[in-house]
Structures are given as structure tokens and as C-alpha cells.
Structure 1
Amino acid sequence: MSEVLTLTYGYTAKDLAAVRAYVQRVAPAIIARTYYDVDEDTFAATPSTMERHLRGMLDGLVRVAIEQGSPALAEHLRASVRKHGEPKLTAVTFRMVTEAATLAAAAPHASHSIGRWFRPRVASRLKGEGIATLGALIAFCNRRGGSWWRSIPRIGAGRAAVIVAWLRRHETQLRLRVDADVSDGNYARDPMVAADVVEVRPAGTYQVDAGGVGQSGSAPVRLTLTPLERMAVPHGLSGIDGENRSVAFCYIQARHDLEAARAYLNKYRDQPKTLRAYTKELERFLLWSVVVRGKALSSLVVDDCEAYKDFLKKPDPRFVGERFSRSSPRWRPFASENLSPESQRYATRALRAAFTWLVDVRYLAGNPWKAVNDPKIVQRETAMQIHRALPADLWRRLRDELDKRCGEDGDPKLGMQWRVVRAALLLMGDSGLRREEAADAQRGKLRVSIYGTLERPVWELTVIGKRQKERTVPVSIATLEALKAHWADRGRDFMAPIDLLNPSGPLLSPVTIPRTPASRAKHGAKHDQRINEGEQGYSADGINRLISRMLTIIVETMDDLSLDERVILGSVNAHAMRHTFGTQSVADEVPVDVVQKVLGHASLQTTSIYVQAEKKRVLEEVAGYYARRAESATTGKRDN
């Protein structure tokens, strides 16, 4: 049965199904639960109001069938009313009545409620994302693109295709258009992946796209924007004849600005995080230079750089969009219209460094960014957001809750997810690892320390941290047991001898691989959803997403959590567990220099922030004690 309803004589398909059930003598209370939403359909609140509504709909359908149907049907209905006082319908006559009623079908409108056209379960899921009307649904689809349905629980590709196909059939009535790359199952026409090379041009060369059916007035110009690796620019803006090009012998083989930018980024090919950050800043500046400023990168002067500084304060809305794959035509260089002052300063410094290098290799004659001041920022007391660290009691209860959920007999796949989340949280919360370090941690680097004893063995893990510095951190027994359970889910023996010639094997790895092309390509899974050999670990972002998703479930379902505790857990990400280790270890009087070594801080001053946080907590607790004692003394005097 279709997930999308149709209106017949003012009644939707669910109304007709409800009346059909009523004709078949199904109880009104059961009909109300099956077809209607009490919050939206007030007539379904009680069996009596439900029955009155059903009888009214049935009378209306019979009335229009008598008026619009065949003479034989009309005479049959009149005779039934004369004999029984009401029409007695069979399955055949009811179908004839509904067919006659289709002569007065209603048309959808953008302002119509989702519940009027979609089945209750589908409507409730859409409303859970804040989608209340058909117009809001189309806007949501157009904003999210081809995978719009992925964020909505239990709306898969099949249901999404039915919904989008129906919206497209009614574009004229809705006076709204669903974008071409929003999937309706006709994947052949969907440009889900942009062309290999995309030329970007100045904004004035694009045509205005009204973006709707029957809409009047102008709309923003739709720009073609693309990441650096697939970017091409017109010859006149390529920088081949840039005004700032050096006349001296150039140390790099770069014919134009794009090749020069790629040569600079190639320096950081072995530093993934740095490469990603610098690529983002350079491609933003290149796109702005061509599309907004209409100048080649190698022709920009100080005034242009100052203009870009102003642009960063509030980027053009056409440059801003939700996060999409870099292969998607919906990709945009900015995810927010409000860049923080710190982000603006970082962009300025990154571009100044890039231009300095281009001057040093004699591609550019001078660096205009040298004459541009950094954006002003407020000097923060501490750059680290250690306030996200979990309090000791909440951290203990979270661990207990994770143990309980990992041991529950229910959905086996969900149990595996809980076990990998527990292992990841303990790895970061007990050993102070960054999420990148946890993602890259290998089994071959985890071993029994020579400093332990038979009664109290100590395990240690060697990781590669920031600035490519190697360090060794202790691993708790609880973490070890969590890792063993996770490895058992992967079908592997955690305690098996390590192959010294091939010791690789990620400590954390997905057990169930989603059936998406990207996931299958990354993990090498063809038909089997579980992987035992040649495993690939989680990415740092993958661990963060998994933790956030599972903690959201805990926030919504865990008992005995106060509102404040739910807020704290709701804001926790993977990195907060590292701060949890820092604050809890200092609170437990672990020497600061030891905490520094475990966390891998370059400076003891950085680690001392956790000491300050602990001092603040001590003062707050004692201040509370003073206040309670003063209140108790006052109460005692009154009693006397």
C-alpha cells in the first residue's frame, strides 16, 4: 500500500480505508488507533466521536454516489436506505461508491498538513524532523538533496522514492518544484555525482533560476561551486598572465593558480588534518576570487584581501549550505553564515602562509596578505572546553549503564554497537586518547607492560599523537575487557598471539557495514556484512558520530537522570572523554606531570588547566557548604 494518500471527495485514502473497515464492522476504537493520530484528528479521541465521524463520511460518500454514480447504483442505494434506514454496503458496492466519489477529488496544497496526505506512521516520522506541511517537506528535500531521507528514522530509499514521485506529480497544484537531484527512484537522471571537472565562473555570468512552478519574481542566482580537486576556471581568470606573477625562475612547475595551489598543498600530503584544513581555506579563497571578485588569484592586491576579510564575517548565502559529500553538486564551501572570529583569524593566517610559500618558490612576486592585519579576537581564559568533561558520579553511572546495555539480550546488532561504543569511550575516558588516536590505535601496539606484576598486571598502548609524536599510555582492565568483547563480535580472538611480521589490526572496527557504496568500497565488503580479515578501522569522524548517536539514545531512555545531567550528556562528544580523564585524574591526586605525559600535552601549563578546574570545583563545593551551614544556623535561632 502506498505511503502517500489521495483525496476523494475531500477524504483521503486513509479515510476511505477507515470507512471500509467500518462497513466491515470493525470496532471504531480499533479504527481510530489504526488510521488516525489523536493529536491531529480530534474526532478519534473517543469511540463515540470516531463512530459519528465514520457515519458522516459514509453518508457523504453515499450521497455523492447517488448524485454522480450510475442509475443502477443510485437505485440500489435508495432501496437500501428505504429498507434499513441506512445504506447496507457490501465490499463490491462500497468499491462502486468510492469510484463514483472520485469525480470530486481534491487537490493538494503547499499549506496542507503532512497528516492529511501521509499515513500516520510516516507523518509522525516527518513531523519528528519538524516537517509539518507539504511545502515544508519540499523545502526540506531541496535543502538536503538526494539523501534527504537519511536523517529520518525508518524512511528508507523505497518510501522516499514514493513520496518524491508523488510530490513531482503534483508540482503544478503545489506550485513548488522538487529539485532534480532529489531522488524519486529514477536514478538515471539524478546528478548525484558532479562531473569530474567543473568550471566556475564570475557570478554575473549565471542565469537566474526561478526554482519553482508558477512562481513570479526573481530568485537568487544559482552558482556552480566545486571543491579544489575538481575545479577549473576560465582562461582569463586562471592566473596564466596574473599581474603578481614572478618574472624570476619558478621553483615549481605551475602554469596557473590552480596548479600552484595544489603544489602548495602537496607539502602536507602526509599530514591529513593539516591538509584538510588548508585545502578548505584555499578553495574558499579561490572560489571567492573567481566568482565574487572576478579576478585571478595571482592578480589580487591588498584591497582584495581586505575585502575577503569582510566576506568572512558574513559569507554570501550562495556559498553556504548543509554538509554534503565533496562529489555532490550540492557541496558548498561554508557550512555556516557566522564564522567565529577565531575561524576568521585562522583563515587569514593560513592564506598568508600559503602566499608566503608561493613567493618563496618564485611563483608570485609579492605577498599582499603581509599588509593585512589579523581579525581581532577575544583572548580566552582557556582554549580547551573542559567544561564538557563528565562529573565523576555521572561518568560512573554512564559506565554502569553501558555495561547493562551491552549485556542485554535483544537486537544482536544493537548489542554490538553498544559494545564498540563502550570500548571507544573507555579507551578515551580511561587513557585520555584523542579521537584520532583512538581511531588509529592498533592491536599490535597494545601489550602487557614490564612494570606490572602477576597480581596487578599493567597494559600499555603506544599511539601516534599530535605533531607525529609517539607516546605510550596506560590501559585499564575495564577497557581491556571491553575490547575483548568488541573483538569477539568481530569474530576474532583478542588474546591470540600477535603476528610480529604483520601486527596491524585496528582496536576499533565496524562490525556491521552499511549497504552504501561508500561504506562497501572503504571496507571491502561485497556480500557479507561482517568482516574478519583485512579490517578497516573507524575514522575519527565515524567514532564521533557513533558515540553521539548512541549517547542520544541514553539521554532519551536512561532512568534516574536529572535534567541537568541529560543536558550534559547531550552535549558530550568523543573529545569530552579526554577532558573527563584529565579532570578525574587530577581530582584523584594523580601528579600533574603524569597526567601531562598521558595526555601528550607539549606544555605543563596546558595540563594545569585541569588543576584550575578542580580548584574551582573545590571552592564551589565549600561555598555551598558554608551557605548550608549559615542557613542551618539561622533556622536554629528561629526555632529557639
Structure 2
Amino acid sequence: MKKPPPRKLHRGHFAFMRALAQGVDERASWERYLRLEGEHVDLRTVRRTIAWIRDAFAAAARREHKPGTARLILLDPERFSAAPALPSLAEFAAARGLEDFSEAEQVEAYQAAYPQARAGQGGASAQPSRRARVIARQLEALRWLENLVAQNPRPGDSVAAWLHPALAERLERAGIATLEALVERINARGARWWVQVPGVGERKAARILDWLHANEQVLGLRVGPHAVQPRAQASAEVLAAVVPAATALVPYEKFVLPAGLDGRAGCFRAPTAACRLRAANDHEAIGAWLAAKGKGAGTAVLSATQRSYRREAERLLLWAVLERGKALSSLTPEDAFAYRAFLANPPPAWCGPRHHQRWSSGWRPLEGALTPVALRQSLVILRSLFEFLVSHGYALANPFAQVALPAQRPVPLGARRMLSIAQWDRVDDMLSRHADTQPGRRLRRAMRWLYATGLRLAEVTALRCGDLARVDAAGHGAEAGSRWQLAVAGKGARRRQVPVPAELVEELGAELARHGLDREVDAASNREIPVLARFDAELRPLSWSASGLYQAIKAFLARAAEGLEESEAQQLRKASTHWLRHSCGAHALQGRDGQPALPLKVVQAQLGHAFAGTTSMYLRAGAGPAEQPPGQGASSGERGEHVRG
């Protein structure tokens, strides 16, 4: 077993011990100099740390052949009683009735009463006690030792050399071995970087940040401002500044095309006079294509389809410039075949976890090799890109036109990617007993709305109270027969009406009232309040991000899997938000106790499927892939674009 590196002494250790030697309160000294070591209320930690520091000091003194200094530092001044406090000369004279005597006579009497005292001008002072002498010598020894052995941390130092051993061990288990790696992890993941480090909570993370800030100059490593405030409070400008624009593995919006590879002189550029796009280079041409896939060229927020298309164009643009050394508009069919092989086996430097946001330094264009289904989808999208460029007079040819697509296997919609009715009932029961906190109630609301409505992740996080409307079922007013419907803008800008159980709307109304808002969900003042609002924001209720919701549901389902048979537990651990959509469709068509099966057309309308054949696939499914239009494989966008986009 590899021996951990020895801990290093820093100036905070010396300052703490000097404070203790001089009688400063132990708790105050600890809080000021050694917060990173742990909680001051844990006296065992405090005592162990003090003992380690004294032993380290003594060992350093012995290495310098100063055994006397080593013994001195190990002495506890508390063992020596302090000399009794002596009265001042004036106090002594008043107590003995000597006010009318001369000062010389007062001093003579004082010295007779206190032989250990030494006369001085205007009074007397006690000779230093043995305790005071020990303290003075210890302080002198600490100053000598500090100049000798105190070190400054360096980026490549092990976390175990500077942080508390238990804390360092947890960081190392999470793959954070050095101080440089620690700062990189914090900057890459933001304020909640510690969530992925078991055993490091918010308070320990705050102490680590304090230590890094205190040593920022000597380390030469800086924790960015985006990592010291909640994500919701970080401005777009702050996030954009985390990774600068560059010709490197950065997202499309930050990728800088080199002058010779920007496509202005691409080998297969059409004549400028024939181009009907306002695009001077390949980057702008991709932007025009993405705008054409949305509701309008001026929209600032990309749709799910645009994000999926951007991902594929982004990967190809990065590959063409960084790997192939070519402009996008200079790619040949041979390049297209090479790119297909690249996607099937990308180098590690191109791959990273999908939960890294686009602003993060940890973002990468791929997670790993594409599955045949995802590879097929990527090639189909790239064909579409070049068809657009050719048809609009930007490019002369489509290099992906002849690239063979991976074979497509027909798979029932939802196969292996949905919960059984029994599994959902178990999850719903756990939701009922979930923590009655604002985040806990929001998670419960989110999962029940997803299951009841079959909404997509992007759709449910975009919901506002104003999207809800009462529908009079009986035609006699909005009393007992009142129902609720959602107006949803889905894929392809198709709008649909989705029924919502009244109890879910009542639960939402209770949450609104709890936070001082109108209990009537459809009140005018509630129109812009998100259905999945985060009410812990300082200024106004904010939407729950798609990535935040996704991760929260994954974590909850992982907890729900605990204690189950391994096969069932594995099923729950793989489940995600889209599984709830599949479960909604399949259970609605199958029917369940007290709920008759719904007609196919009703479920198709609720889920927003363009084709009834897509919905009918739930009838043949026993259990999930992402929905797919005819002739295409399942898109990986449904699985992870909410995080990368």
C-alpha cells in the first residue's frame, strides 16, 4: 500500500500555536487559523491536531540538532502556575494607609511585603514567572522554526500534504490528488463541485475554499467567481468568462476559426454571387442552418431540436479543423468516411462526462464512442446540414451523401426503458414519504407531473402557471366538475392540450400559498411563476434547470433502488426522466386498477407524437428507447442534450 505523503507545516499552524501559547481562546484561535482541520466543537480533532503540530515542531527542531528546543516546544505552559498578580504601588499604599508617606517610604514597605518585586518608577512589577518565561522562550522558538520549516503550497503538491488526512482521503478517492486538480475540479463544476465527492459536504467545501482563497497568491491558482456563488446567481457574463474563446476543444459559440480554415476559401464553396445565406464563413453558415431549424432567426434560446443539431455540427466543425486540418466546406467524401470511424472510436481527450455544462472547462464534445443508433442519427443530421448548404448556394457538394448509415433495428418504443406499474407505485410511495422541505416537495411535484402528463424534460421545466387553464367537464360552471389542461408547445412548435389531474394542481396551489403567492394557480399574478419554481431564490421564483431536475431524479431513483433485488435495482438505477414519459404512455394504453385504458388517439395527442404508429409501439413494449421519427434511429439528444445544451 502506497504511503501517503507527510503533511506539511504552514504559517497557519505557527500562528495558531502562538495564539494558544499567549492564552488566546482555543476556539477563536482554531476558527481563525485552522478551520480547514475540522469543526472546533470536535475536541478530539482539536487535541489530535495540536498534538500532531507539537510533534512536527519538535521533529523539525531535532533535525536541526536542537534537542533542547524540541523539549521546550513540547512543554505545556499550563503545567506551570502563573505568579500571583501583585498590586500596584498606589493600591498597596491605599490598602496599608500609607497615602501620606513619601514614595521612597512606600517603595520600602512594598519591597518588605513582596520580596520578589522589583522597584520601578511609579510602581513595581513582578519578576516573570516560570510560566511566563516558558511562553516567552516558546514564542522565540516558534519564530525560529517558522523561518526554518514553514512552507508555501505549490500547485503540484498532494492534497494530503496540506489538508486534514480524512478530508484529503475523500478527495483522493474522488480522483482529486493535487491542489491543482482540486482547483480545476472546482472551476469546472462550479459552486456545487462537492456534490460528486462523497464525504465532503457544503461546510467542508466552504472551508476548502477559504483555504484556497487565503493561499491564492502563493499557489498561483485562482478559483473563479462563478464557483463561489449559486449557479442561479451567476450572470451569463461570469459563466462565459470561465473558458475564453479559442481554437481548441470548446463549444461552437466559443470556437475561433483559424484564418486559413474558416471556409472563406473552402474547396467546395459555391460562387459568392450564388449564395443566398448571410454567411461569410463556415461558422456563420452553421448558425444560419440552426436558425432555420428554429421558430425564428432571432430567437436566443435554442429548441431541443436545435441543440441536437448544434451538437452534431459542432463535433464535425471541431474535428475538421483540429483533427483534419481542413475547413468544413473543404471536406471530401473520404473525410466523411474518416469522421464516421472517428465517432465510433474517439480519442480520450475528446470525451468527458455529459453533466459538464457548456461554460465549464470540463466540457467535451463526446462522452465516448457513439452507439449504432446515435451514429446513425449523427450522420442523418450531417447529411441534412450539407443538403441545406448546397440548396442555399453556400456549398457545391454533400460529402456525407454516400456514407452508409448503420443498420436500424426496429425496437418497440419504450422497450426496456420504462417502469412497470408496480415499480412506479413503489416510487410514488417513496415520494409520499419524501422530506417535507421546499426542494423535497419540488422533486415530488416534478416526478408526479412527468408521470401524469408524459411531458418531455424540456417541456416540463418550461411550464408556467399561465399555461394551465380550467376546463368545465360538466358544462355547469367551474365547481366539482372542473378539470385542468396544459397548453404545451412541443417538438416542431406543435401545440397540444394535456390534461392534468386536479390533485396535482391543488398541490401546486398549496405550495404557492406557502410562499405568499395567490393559492389560485390561474390567478393573473401567478402567470409567470414556473410550475417547478425554486422558491429559495432571493428575488423571484426561478425555473428549475433541466440538468438540475435530471440529476435530482436520477439521485432519487438510485435511492429507491436500495434494498431491492439486483435486477430490479439495476433497472431503477438506469431510469431517468424520459422513462417517466414512456411509463405514462404505456400505462395509459394498458390501463390499471381504477383507470381504464385510454384510446390510442387520446394518448398520441397527450404525448405529442406526430404519428399514431409511434404511440402504438407502446402496446408492443414490455418496457423503453427514445422516440424516433420514421426512418431514423433513436437520438441521443433525448438522453443527454439537456445537460450538454
Fold equivalence (TM over 0.5) = yes
Give runs of aligned pairs for residues 191-202 of structure 1, distance below 5 A.
Answer: 193=240, 198=245, 200=247
Which residue is equivalent to 2:453? Answer: 431
Find the partner of 2:409 among 366, 379, 400: 379
2:469 partner letter: R
In structure 1, distance between residues paired with 2:312 and 2:444: 36
Identity among equivalent positions (%) equals 26
Which residue is equivalent to 1:30? Answer: none
1:475 aligns with 2:500: yes
Q: Secondary structure of 1:262's partner? A: helix
In structure 2, distance between residues paired with 1:97 and 1:569: 61
In structure 2, relative to structure 1, the CA distance for the partners of 1:52 and 1:159 (3 Å cut) is: closer
Q: Is the CA contact (8 Å cut-off) linking 1:429 and 1:578 kept in structure 2? A: yes
Question: How far is the alpha carbon of 1:597 from its aligned partner?
Answer: 3.6
Q: Is the CA contact (8 Å cut-off) linking 2:591 and 2:598 kept in structure 1? A: no
In structure 2, relative to structure 1, the CA distance for the partners of 1:437 and 1:327 (3 Å cut) is: closer
Which residue is equivalent to 1:307? Answer: 338
CA offset digits 1:449-498 (Å, max 9, x no partner): 32258556433323222333322233224322321233224431231663
Which residue is equivalent to 2:193? Answer: 151
Corresponding residue pairs, total: 520
Question: How far is the alpha carbon of 1:418 from its aligned partner?
Answer: 1.2
Q: Secondary structure of 1:371's partner? A: coil
Which residue is equivalent to 1:540? Answer: 546
In structure 1, distance between residues paired with 2:614 and 2:252: 36
Q: Is the CA contact (8 Å cut-off) linking 2:263 and 2:330 kept in structure 1? A: yes
Q: Which runs of 5+ in 1 are unaligned?
A: 27-33, 38-43, 82-86, 172-177, 201-223, 408-414, 514-528, 617-640
> RMSD between aligned alpha carbons?
5.1
1:402 aligns with 2:434: no
Which residue is equivalent to 2:419? Answer: 390
1:575 aligns with 2:578: yes
Question: How far is the alpha carbon of 1:416 from its aligned partner?
Answer: 0.9
In structure 2, distance between residues paired with 1:259 and 1:455: 56
In structure 2, distance between residues paired with 1:538 and 1:119: 35
In structure 2, distance between residues paired with 1:73 and 1:615: 74
Find the partner of 2:168 among 123, 129, 134: 123
In structure 1, distance between residues paired with 2:154 and 2:244: 40
CA offset digits 1:503-542 (Å, max 9, x no partner): 55432222123xxxxxxxxxxxxxxx141xxx55334334
Find the partner of 2:606 among 598, 602, 608: 598
1:465 aligns with 2:490: yes
Q: Secondary structure of 2:412's partner? A: coil
Find the partner of 2:471 among 449, 455, 461: 449
Which residue is equivalent to 1:506? Answer: 530
Q: Is the CA contact (8 Å cut-off) linking 1:313 and 1:339 kept in structure 2? A: yes
2:321 partner letter: V
Which residue is equivalent to 2:181? Answer: 139
Question: How far is the alpha carbon of 1:417 from its aligned partner?
Answer: 0.9
Q: Is the CA contact (8 Å cut-off) linking 2:282 and 2:327 kept in structure 1? A: yes
Q: Is the CA contact (8 Å cut-off) linking 1:302 and 1:371 kept in structure 2? A: yes
TM normalised by structure 1 equals 0.66
In structure 2, distance between residues paired with 1:281 and 1:7: 48
Which residue is equivalent to 2:149? Answer: 105
Question: How far is the alpha carbon of 1:370 from its aligned partner?
Answer: 1.5
Q: Is the CA contact (8 Å cut-off) linking 1:198 and 1:230 kept in structure 2? A: yes
Question: How far is the alpha carbon of 1:268 from its aligned partner?
Answer: 2.0
In structure 2, relative to structure 1, the CA distance for the partners of 1:192 and 1:169 (3 Å cut) is: farther
1:339 partner letter: L
Give runs of aligned pairs for residues 232-381 of structure 1, distance below 5 A.
Answer: 232-247=256-271, 249-270=274-295, 272-321=303-352, 324-327=356-359, 330=361, 333-374=364-405, 376-377=406-407, 379=409, 381=411
Q: Of the two, which has the highest radius of gyration? A: 2
In structure 2, relative to structure 1, the CA distance for the partners of 1:362 and 1:444 (3 Å cut) is: same
TM normalised by structure 2 equals 0.65
Question: How far is the alpha carbon of 1:427 from its aligned partner?
Answer: 0.8
Q: Is the CA contact (8 Å cut-off) linking 1:432 and 1:581 kept in structure 2? A: yes
Instruction: Considering Cα pairs closer than 8 Å and 6+ residues apart, tell me whether 1 or 2 has the greater RCO.
Output: 2
CA offset digits 1:536-592 (Å, max 9, x no partner): 53343343234345556x559x8x766666544443322222233234442515135
In structure 1, distance between residues paired with 2:59 and 2:281: 73
Question: How far is the alpha carbon of 1:406 from its aligned partner?
Answer: 4.8
Q: Secondary structure of 1:294's partner? A: coil
Question: How far is the alpha carbon of 1:373 from its aligned partner?
Answer: 1.9
Q: Which runs of 5+ in 2 are unaligned?
A: 1-5, 27-34, 39-43, 81-129, 195-200, 229-236, 296-301, 625-645
